Amino acid sequence: MSKKTLLSTALAGVLMAGMVSYSVDTEAANWRYAHEEFEGDVQDVFAQKFKEYVEANSSNTVQVFRFGELGESDDIMEQTQAGILQFVNQSPGFTGAIIPEAQIFFIPYLLPVEDDQIIEFFRTSSAINEMFPELYAEQGLELLTMYPEGEMVVTADTPVRTPEEFRGKNIRTMTNPLLTETYRAFGATPTPLPWGEVYGGLQTNIIQGQENPIFWIESGGLYEVSPNLIFTGHGQFTTAMMANKRFFDGLSDEDKQLVHDATAHAFDYITEYVPGLSEQSLEKILAAKPDVTVTRLTEEERQAFRDRAPQVEARFIEMTGERGQALLDQFKADLEAVTGN
């Protein structure tokens, strides 16, 4: 048995040992909610707002677990599907392993990076709000909401302005086949790694770069070992908040409404919180390490990368078939309604 399996089993045992019995007839319950980020990061802020609403409007309580407390992303998803956790917040970058269609968010230059447009898209998109819940339900998950966390920014050992300058660089990706395809199209060598190995990998030059929203680059200290920030404009980091479906379906109508209302409360808060967060995080980075470089690609420079996006889109359709094509068509229709493009 691997160390990771032992750790996951031990964590599950600790949780099970501490669980109080729960049934829909119980007046109060403690709900367990895990996410992928650190204290004060976007997913943590969202989780705290969800917790705040639930506890202010019911006798239920919410116990929030942050990154590393119950393992990594795949661990908390396994625990949610097993019913050990009631709620989980996870990026499609990891969920794509069980829901291939969720990888649509990694088609470069599909989503806008402008805050007002991306928030309107998530509020109104039929693909997000009608098609995705069915896909998640097939995996025993009740999709409650999806929301953006900010523009994806690449960090590297040198500034990069062209696909040619990515050549020879090992760029860390999440364990996501389509994201791997994106960086292969961009000219780099994609290198899937779990988050816990990224800082050390950059420090020892095993990898020469990675991508994340700027607040995560700041809070994780990635700029310390990968000091060249590149704004390519190729996408937004998206995440999803969901529940174990068997748990959710077993709730009373009153508690189901409570969960939906708490989710809406957290969504409204986070869509006001995220705009401007990138600029604040960048200021903190530059104050802490003034020799960090910031490269913002011009429209002409972006076009060289954008021209390579169709091969990623084709790979997405190859991986997901007719369902993926239908989802992509709806995505584009929803985006056109918001952006006019």
Q: Is the pLDDT of residue 73 over 80?
A: yes
SS3 238: strand
* Rounded Cα distance, 312 and 299, in Å: 20
Q: Is the pLDDT of residue 142 over 90?
A: yes
* Rounded Cα distance, 232 and 83, in Å: 39
144, amino acid identity: L
- The pLDDT of residue 146 is 97
* Rounded Cα distance, 123 and 126, in Å: 9
Q: How confident is the model at residue 18 (pLDDT cuts 50, 70, 90)?
A: very low
User: Domain segments of the chain: what residues?
Assistant: 29-339
- The pLDDT of residue 341 is 77
Tell me which of 325 and 96 has the higher pLDDT. 325
Q: How much of the chain exceeds pLDDT 70, in percent?
A: 92
Compute the mean pLDDT over every residue in the chain, rounded to the nearest whole number: 92
170, amino acid identity: N
CATH number belonging to domain 29-339: 3.40.190.170
- The pLDDT of residue 94 is 82
- The pLDDT of residue 22 is 41
Q: How much of the chain exceeds pLDDT 90, in percent?
A: 85
Q: Beta strand 141-156 with 209-213: parallel, antiparallel or unpaired?
A: antiparallel
SS3 84: coil
pLDDT tens for 143-196 read: 999 999 999 999 999 999 999 999 999 999 988 889 999 999 999 999 999 888
Residue from 88, 74, 91, 95 nearest 139 by CA: 95
- The pLDDT of residue 15 is 52
pLDDT tens for 85-123 read: 999 999 987 888 899 999 999 999 999 988 889 999 999
pLDDT tens for 329-338 read: 999 999 999 9
pLDDT tens for 121-141 read: 999 999 999 999 999 999 999
- The pLDDT of residue 174 is 85
The residue with tokens 């992303």 is 73
- The pLDDT of residue 176 is 84
Least confident of 99-103, 193-197, 207-211, 324-328: 193-197
Residue from 258, 238, 226, 298 nearest 24 by CA: 258
Per-residue exposure over 282-299, b if at least 16 CB sit within 10 Å of its own CB, e if not: beebeeeeeebeebebee
Q: Is the pLDDT of residue 246 over 70?
A: yes
- The pLDDT of residue 115 is 84
Q: How confident is the model at residue 14 (pLDDT cuts 50, 70, 90)?
A: very low
Q: How confident is the model at residue 340 (pLDDT cuts 50, 70, 90)?
A: confident
Give the pair of three-digit tokens for residue 83. Answer: 């019913």
Q: How confident is the model at residue 72 (pLDDT cuts 50, 70, 90)?
A: confident
What's the pTM? Answer: 0.89
pLDDT, mean of residues 195-205: 95
Tell me which of 116 and 307 has the higher pLDDT. 307
